[in-house]
Amino acid sequence: MNHPLPPETSLEPLAPGLRLPESDRKEFSAEAIAEIQAIMAKYPEKLAATLPALHIAQREFGFVSLAAMKAVAKAIGIPEGHVFGVATFYTMYQKAPVGKYHFSVCTNISCALRGAAQLLEKVCEKTGVKPGAGPSPDGMWSVEEVECLAGCGLAPCIQVNHDVYDELVDEQKLIEVMEACKRGEYRPWAQ
């Protein structure tokens, strides 16, 4: 049978650990270790600190690299394999470098009905990057196609890093957001 391939590249299984992109950084900073220790105190079991620690790792390392996963395992004192399993399960942990401003474009049904596909095309055109294909050469932009961002009433909506949702209907608004990024009005990715 000749089936066309499914459209989504993000469904491809993640390559085994060694083929993941590697980060420059290898260890947590002292502050991050202290932060993780404080988080561990919030829970009755140390394993529960895995998710928050991975968020911290993403902030420190820029993305969740293999070294970041190892550092998390070491900081909490849990098996590296467990951290790898968790990090690859959740989509918000970026397993490859992203730009300083990471655009998440929702293309789910509510947004799609109001032109999310066209918006995604426009975002790609303006930033010059493809969804999920890593940052632009200057390291400024990256684009990702995501599932519902709970901004359905503001559709089509995008998220810039972890901060801002916006009602984005036209090109003009998109240009404004990108200008604001260039001026540094939004928090950059790794902060």
List interacting residues with another protein (CB under 8 A). 3-4, 6-8, 10-11, 42-45, 47-52, 54-55, 82, 85-86, 89-93, 104, 107-110, 112-118, 120, 146-155, 159, 162-164, 167, 187
Q: Which residue has the tokens 């684009």?
A: 143
DSSP string, 27-61: S--HHHHHHHHHHHTTSSSGGGGHHHHHHHHHHHH
Q: How far is the CB of 137 from another protein (least distance, A)?
A: 26
Nearest distance, CB of residue 18 and another protein, angstroms: 21
We find the least distance from the C-beta atom of residue 87 to another protein, in angstroms, to be: 9
- Of 66 and 111, which CB lies nearer to another protein in the complex structure? 111
Task: Considering the complex, state which of residue 23 and residue 104 has its C-beta at the smaller distance from another protein.
Answer: 104
Is 13 or 137 the residue whose CB approaches another protein more closely? 13
The DSSP bridge pattern shows strands 157-160 and 164-167 to be: antiparallel
Q: Tokens standing for 110?
A: 């509510």
Nearer to another protein among residue 163 and residue 179 (C-beta): 163
Closest by CA to 130, choosing from 155, 98, 154, is 98
For residue 187, what are the CA distances in angstroms to 102, 136, 144, 183? 11, 18, 18, 11
